[in-house]
Structure 1
Amino acid sequence: MMKMILDLDTGVDDSLALAYAIANPDIEVLGVTGTYGNVTTEQGVRNSLDILHLLEKDSVPVFKGEDHAMDKVVFTRHEVSARIHGENGVGQVTLPPASAKPESTDAIDFIIASCKRWGKELTLVTTGPLTNLATALEKEPEIEHMIGKVIVMGGALTVCGNVSHFAEANISQDPCAARNVFETSMDITMVGLDVTQRSRLDKKATQSWRNLKTISGRLFADMADYYIENTLGTEETFIHDPSAVICAVHPEFFQAFPCFLTVETEGIDRGRVVVDSKKLRASDPTTKACIGVAADLVERELTTTLYGLFKGN
């Protein structure tokens, strides 16, 4: 069973990713680390606790992480994030409040301790800015050689960005952190807009969840429908964050291109993920960028797994 930490800025698609991880029998969720992006870190942590409570998984610990980028003193939320995820991050849906609180240990120390305990067994999936992981590496550099796999939802290598012509939202929030992470020797797979925009979640699927007449089915359908209506404005939307978790357990669904990745941190290219020109002649890159996907398999994996989860809740 894969031992996994989810590093989330818990908005709607992060909630879907968390639910998928909880439902997948091949994943043991060791904990959730909170970051900023779709919402503030504090709101994201609260959303994670409430989602876990809704799914009757209050025992999964949630840890508060960094609340702004490494080179900034405050976090500024993108307007598009508020529009797509709603002010509360979960599509303006009111979730049953969890009584659980965040752990007293912070996210950075939890990541470090987990790397030391589980080593190569540990998979870290990030769906927000990479500040928590970069900060953990800065505090304890040796974990670079301990951790198993890192799956990053973020970036755009062969397509345009979604917050600028070049930049994707997660990477753009903290390009310095992303650069520091990508330029390590860790086994990193980037699941970016190149593939997440090819897989779709539609209202037929969300209606099937609603038809279950369970609390979780109804609330997740409401969240997902809000997200659908405020992204493409059609009957479907992209599968961003869940794609990263699915990639962790089903890498065969994806076509990955081995390359040395880095991130531009200055000028109009700030936040742009590129192949590192200094390493074009270097061999054996540890980073990979997903550039192809069997979208039908990703879509089926997500919707059927969540249907089974919501059927029992």
Structure 2
Amino acid sequence: MKKRIILDVDTGIDDALAIGYAVHSPELELLGLTTTFGNISLPEATRNSLVLLEKLNKEIPVYEGADKPYARELFKPYVRHIHGEDGIGNCFSSHPLRSAAAEHAADFIIQQARKYPRELTVIAVGPLTNMALALDRCPELPELLDRLIIMGGAVTVPGNVKPTAEANIYADPEAAEYVLTAGFKLTLVGLDVTMQTLLPQSAVDAWRDQGSELAEFMADMTDFYMQAYQDFKPGIAGCALHDPLAVGVAIAPDFVTTQPMYVAVDTGDSPTVGRTYEISADEASTGAGKTIDVCVEVDAERFLQHFLGRIL
């Protein structure tokens, strides 16, 4: 049986690659996309998701969610220098024909979790605000989901937007703390492993050589991301496949090795706000429920070849 999934996205470039990977993976049934602020604004993330689905020739529903953090005003700037002014490498050319569904993203997640109890996997690859809102509305959500896979955090390595913080967690640390300690069966796919999944320029060039409209769009979009990585870390051998790895873990959990940990998140006015770090069982709050599975190793080459075999 196919694994039923919802992808919760802030559709920038690596989100777009994750969506393409998911829809081309026969093991998965993508029930819908839910969108949030993050890489770009919420309306832009929704628009880009619809644009990409049209290019993929898929009529998967899109549900709009949070436009700001769970417990504070927007404080992390949009990363247009990484994802382009439009969020998809400055490749936006025309508005989508479809619109987002009327239902809120959090309500859609709850509805599907109740429809498919213990059969639904949510893959969250942006800030965790939609999941926090869903928890508020449905406290039993951790028992209803089969698994929550989160692309976020940097438990054993440095951050990327701050020395100690990864972008998705930093964008809404209060939502992250709430979700990570809610008792979900949870896999955290962080910078600990995603920075090892480098997509080489030669692969992107090969997409362009295929000549299809989809291949050229993916190549043009990803070229922008490649250049952003070079600007950030000159000499790096490609761009990291952060969000696609989270999808890969849903398909083949053995792409990664995990370690059970209690994980805390720095919140509020902490100088290290957004930091994700391991704590002991004694330090864990009584509400933490259980440990989460933190990815600590990845078979990067095997995952890369799998991704390349599916993306187009």
Q: Under TM normalisation by the shorter chain, which class is it?
A: over 0.9
Q: Is the 8 A contact 2:181 2:289 kept in 1?
A: no
Count how many residue pairs are aligned between Structure 1 and Structure 2: 304
Q: Matched residue of 1:87: which SS? A: coil
Query: Alignment partner for residue 245 of structure 1, among 244, 247, 253?
Result: 247
Contact 2:198 / 2:238 at 8 angstroms: preserved in 1?
yes
Measure the CA separation in 2 of the matches of 1:144 and 1:258. Answer: 17
**Percent identity of equivalent pairs:** 37
Q: 1:279 to 1:41 in 2, by over 3 A?
A: farther
1:210-264: CA deviation from partner (whole Å, max 9, x where unpaired): 1111000001000011100111345511111101000111110101011122211
Q: How far is 1:268 from its partner?
A: 1.3
Aligned to 2:226: 228
Report the AA paired with residue 264 of structure 1.
D
Letter of the structure 2 residue corresponding to residue 136 of structure 1: A
Give the whole-Å Cα distance in 2 for the aligned partners of 1:70 and 1:199.
30
Give yes or no for contact 1:201–1:236 (8 Å, CA) kept in 2.
Answer: yes
Alignment partners' CA distance in 2, 1:223 and 1:30: 25
Is residue 258 from structure 1 mapped to residue 263 from structure 2 by the alignment?
Answer: no
* Residue 158 (1) aligns with residue 156 (2): yes
Conserved 8 A contact 1:54-1:96: no
Unaligned runs of 5+ in 2: none
Matched with 2:300 is 295
CA distance in 2, matches of 1:262, 1:139: 23
Q: Distance between the aligned counterparts of 1:95 and 1:21, measured in 2?
A: 24
* Structure whose residues are more often helix by fraction: 1
Scaled by the length of structure 1, the TM-score of the pair is 0.93
Distance 1:54-1:96 versus aligned 2 partners, 3 A rule: farther
**CA–CA separation in structure 2 for the residues paired with 1:279 and 1:228:** 43
Q: Which amino acid aligns with 1:28?
A: E
- How far apart, in 2, do the equivalents of 1:167 and 1:284 lie? 24
The counterpart of 1:90, out of the listed 84, 88, 91, is 88
**For residues 195-218 of structure 1, what are the alpha-carbon distances to aligned partners after superposition, in whole Å with 9 as ceiling and x for unaligned?**
000011111111111111100000
What amino acid maps onto 1:185 in structure 2?
Answer: G
| Cα separation, 2, equivalents of 1:221 and 1:127 | 21
State the AA in 1 paired with 2:292: T
Counterpart-to-counterpart distance in 1, 2:304 and 2:108? 32
Contact kept, 8 Å, 1:8 with 1:126, in 2: the verdict is yes
2:276 equivalent among 247, 252, 273:
273
Q: TM-score, normalised by structure 2?
A: 0.93
Q: Which residue of 2 aligns with 1:130?
A: 128
Aligned partner of 1:204 among 202, 227, 234: 202
1:277 Cα offset (Å): 3.6
SS of 1:305's equivalent in the other structure is coil
Cα distance in structure 2, aligned partners of 1:24 and 1:213: 22
> 2-side partners of 1:28 and 1:196: how far apart?
24
Aligned-partner residue type, residue 272 of structure 1 = R
Unaligned runs of 5+ in 1: none
Residue 167 (structure 2) pairs with residue 169 (structure 1): yes
CA contact (8 A) 2:76 2:170 kept: no
